[in-house]
Amino acid sequence: MAAEDQPDPDAPAGDADVSAKLFGTWEMGEIEYADPSTERYIQVTPVAHTAGRHASKQFKKSQISIVERFINRLMQTEDNTGKKQQSLNFVRDAFELIHERTEENPVQVLVTAVENAAPREETVRLKYGGISVPKAVDVAPQRRVDQALMMLAEGVYKDSFKTSTSVPEAIANQLVGAANYDVQTYAISQKEEKERVAAAAR
């Protein structure tokens, strides 16, 4: 193979072939984005098992498939630490459940859930002399996506740990709830709380 035909390892993941199907089933070519601010940070591509090769550069993580990033978040919880294949199987089964419930593309449901769960404001602590004062700040788009994935994964853990709810069912519950902006869903309730506290600190 000629050097010019070699794939660029630093090329954005968004340049991948979206005609391929996620898990051999789900289309990725017609995903709709409702939030233009986070669109560039939500890549919809096949799970590539990137093995953390983007971790050394600050913004490279946003070039990883949003599905793989969600799987990585799921395997950061206590009992699931490092078990990526297990987490991948959970997500594959959850996508089947989501499709059965909504008759929608589960990849679209995940993207909508991330957009809905991404907080727009949060608070920071500023020190004036010996006094600590909360201050409301806008959240950067990349951090919004990071926070949404974290809260969705935490919601799955809380929904499935020491309960009769299976992990795929908990994933489906959290993603469908967040996609529908159900305030009873953990990620949406946490987002609303963050924004309520930030509004009070303006």
Count the domains in the chain.
1
Q: What is the predicted pLDDT for the residue at 113? A: 95
The CATH number linked to 37 is 1.10.455.10
Tell me if 17 is assigned to some domain. no
Q: What is the predicted pLDDT for the residue at 72? A: 87
Tell me if 42 is assigned to some domain. yes
Q: What domain range is 113 assigned to? A: 31-47+54-119+140-192
Ranges of H-type helices in the chain: 66-74, 84-102, 106-117, 141-160, 167-179, 186-200
CA 106 to chain centroid, in Å, comes to 13
Q: What is the predicted pLDDT for the residue at 14? A: 43
| Closest to 66 (Cα-Cα) out of 97, 43, 48, 84 | 43
Q: Note if the pTM is more than 0.85.
A: no
Tell me if 200 is assigned to some domain. no
Average pLDDT over residues 52-81: 78
Tell me if 128 is assigned to some domain. no
Q: What whole-number distance in Å separates Cα of residue 170 and Cα of residue 159?
A: 6
Average pLDDT over residues 64-72: 88
CB 17 within 8 A of CB 29: no
Most confident of 9-23, 26-40, 138-152: 138-152
